[in-house]
Amino acid sequence: MPFLSMPLLPMALFAASLSLAPGPVNLIILSTALNHGVRAPLRFITGATLGFTALLVLTGLGLSATQALAQSWMDLLSCIGAAVILYFGYGLLRAEGTLDTHDAPIPGFWQGAALQWLNPKAWIACLSGVALFNLQGRTLELLQFSTLYCVICFCGIGAWAVLGHNLTRWLDTARKRRALNATLGTCLILLALSLAAAPAQRLLTVS
């Protein structure tokens, strides 16, 4: 069977390493769980997982067309994605530090899905996975890999919600939570600025 002939362990390790690595999606999940509880980011986690999985499938089915996307469109996606990340970073900077605070935004399903499609790193991860495991033109194997990735991605990024929830027992004062919120917010803002710097410069040069 094709499924049994696939390199499942390398595929699983590839998916796990990318899903667990710190990034804007995982930092948003961490901060949401910290401020609102472990269940609060569930819709965002689901959206981010399914959004990435859909992107992976479509990338594999149309790899040539994806690679031919105009640089200006990728730059525009980068800038829009950076703006979304900035929004969450700014919300964290404003958060007061009380549990279940209304100052820190709670992201939803569509924000999670859209953020993956607006993140060039997600596009690169999809292209890399398809190329690494030679999945172009192999629809069945691509769908099997995407299913495996979907499960691992949900668990991997969901682990950041558990981490955020567990941190609350150590952050027993509003001052400590406010400090962590400020740190996470600053990290998100710096990530957004680094994500948008080169694309914005190219867009301004073209215009």
Predicted confidence (pLDDT) per residue in 10-52, tens digit? 889 889 988 988 888 998 999 889 888 899 999 999 999 999 9
* Cβ-Cβ contacts under 8 Å for 157 (sequence gap 6 or more): 19, 20, 25, 26, 29, 45, 48, 49
Rounded (5°) CA angle 34-49-103: 30
> Which pLDDT score, from 0 to 100, does residue 186 have?
86
* Rg of the chain (C-alpha set): 18
Q: Looking at residue 124, what is its pLDDT?
A: 78
What pLDDT is recorded for position 99? 52
pTM higher than the cut 0.85: no
- How far is Cα 174 from Cα 176, in angstroms, rounded to an integer? 6
Encoded tokens for 3: 């499924």
Query: What's the rounded Cα separation, in Å, for the pair 194 and 1?
Result: 44
**Segments of the chain scoring below 50 in pLDDT:** 1, 68
